[in-house]
Structure 1
Amino acid sequence: MCLVIKYSLLTTYIFLIFVCMKKIDIRTVNVIQYLQPLREGGSLPAIVKADDDFLYVLKFRGAGQGKMALIAEFIGGELARAIGLKVPELVFMNLDDSFSKTQPDEEIQDLLKFSVGLNLGLQFLSVAITYDPLVNDVDAMIASKVVLLDSIISNIDRTDKNTNLLHWNNELWVIDNGASFYFHHNWENWRNHLTRTFPLIKDHVLLKEATKLNEAATEIKKLVSKELINEIVSSIPEDWLIIESTTMTPAQMRAAYIEFITTKLTNIDLLVKEATNAR
């Protein structure tokens, strides 16, 4: 679907450049207008306007994978930004209970009802197009970083069928990391994933172009420190970590995310070898 919204491309680009230069400092905004649902994905995200006058793609806590998908989206996005990849700004978005009352679509009504509270928004990139490996070129270092990022966070959803990458202003932008960290859908066995590699990397849309995996691994290890991981994970909203299906506390979950990412970085050479063999 081609969505065209009258929006200042230049203003958005300047804003995003500023955001990419900042440290982890997540803003919180309020949704003031529900504009349009995006029906390509199963979670039914929407384009909304916030009280800072910017447009965002809103990911709902009441969607299929719930708050776990928001956590994966948040951690994956901020790690991608930290290693030098282009990522739309991520913001926490307050949604009140008034929007469901004005929507005629019952599915959207229910989604908005179940998503009252703090959700996650991605800065909307006006007139961006989905990355097409048959049309768009990508730099080898960027491709290698994306491949290793997805190996680290176990992202199962960056394939030819669903690239979850955008081409905007002649640059590659990383979006939609919600299918990452799939271990957190079963907390009882999360430790079993610590020493696993990521065989599904063989299906990655950028694997063919990822010819600088060793160089990318070296740079990633320099850019992602334990302090940075702690900072990202500590920024996860507390109520996103309150899950009825587990006895783990929010503090224990934060420690698990930190240990998982740290372990993957420690073993990044194994991920490089796996991806190289898959190529």
Structure 2
Amino acid sequence: MRWRSGRQSNNVEDYRGSNRSGGGPGGFRIGLIGTAAIVLIGWYMGANPLQLIGLVGGANTLLGGIGGSETTSTTPQGGALSDDGGKFVSVVLGTTEDVWNPLFQQMGKRYQEPKLALFEGEIDSACGFSTAASGPFYCPGDNKVYIDLSFFRELKALGASGEFAQAYVLGHEVGHHVQNLLGITDEVSRLQARMSQRDGNALSVALELQADCYAGVWAHHANQTSVQLDSNDIEDAVKAAASIGDDRLQGMSGKRVNPDSFTHGSSRQRMEWFQRGVQSGDMRQCDTFKNS
């Protein structure tokens, strides 16, 4: 993935380095692989990572294994991003803007560009308090994607390496922003409110698979306009999708694989929907609610 000559987005808020001490003496550390499993399971299954490892302490003691015990301030730092990680995600965000603005124009709509908030350890958002253990997430309450870049190390530990595997993560979260702008997110929430848990989970799977497909649509067009991708880049993203399927994560957590409890889809589904978006470049091919 060739990105260094790309345009950096102006929509990045950098909260890193503006931290104050947090947590307490009850903090703990776990190994890298254990942290990786907890981070990704918590991210993709919507679970509290503390519950997954049988702990019941306060959230402020969690960070010893990932980002240190720090709490991010509410004021982002100004100036251009100078570190490679910051530059990378800023350029990737810029490519999503270059893709989704014209695609929305073709639909007769206006694309509202999301913000990308970089943080370390912990942060408050319009969706509540979050830690690095939650993984990257999109908050529809403030139209922001949040990420602690330490997540990319955990992703690599699970075998999803390569810069485009990391870019896919951001493409997926921006895909949730697209769903929010189109009213899909609100409609799913409305329907889930009167459904059983099982049926609600099925809708969650469809929502997540559609975000994967939208990430593929972005990759298709970005390759033509903003970045240069090769077959290895796409393979890296496909591996990332496979490594974070619900079936794989449930198996890693020692649980029986239970499709009725899936909230993000199986490894096979995630790979297939991302690839469908990449191959077609057509949002109309991403109707996971009818075809999943």
Give the structure-1-normalised TM-score.
Answer: 0.35
Which has a greater percent of helix?
A: 2
Give the structure-2-normalised TM-score.
Answer: 0.34
Higher relative contact order (CA 8 A, sep 6+): 2
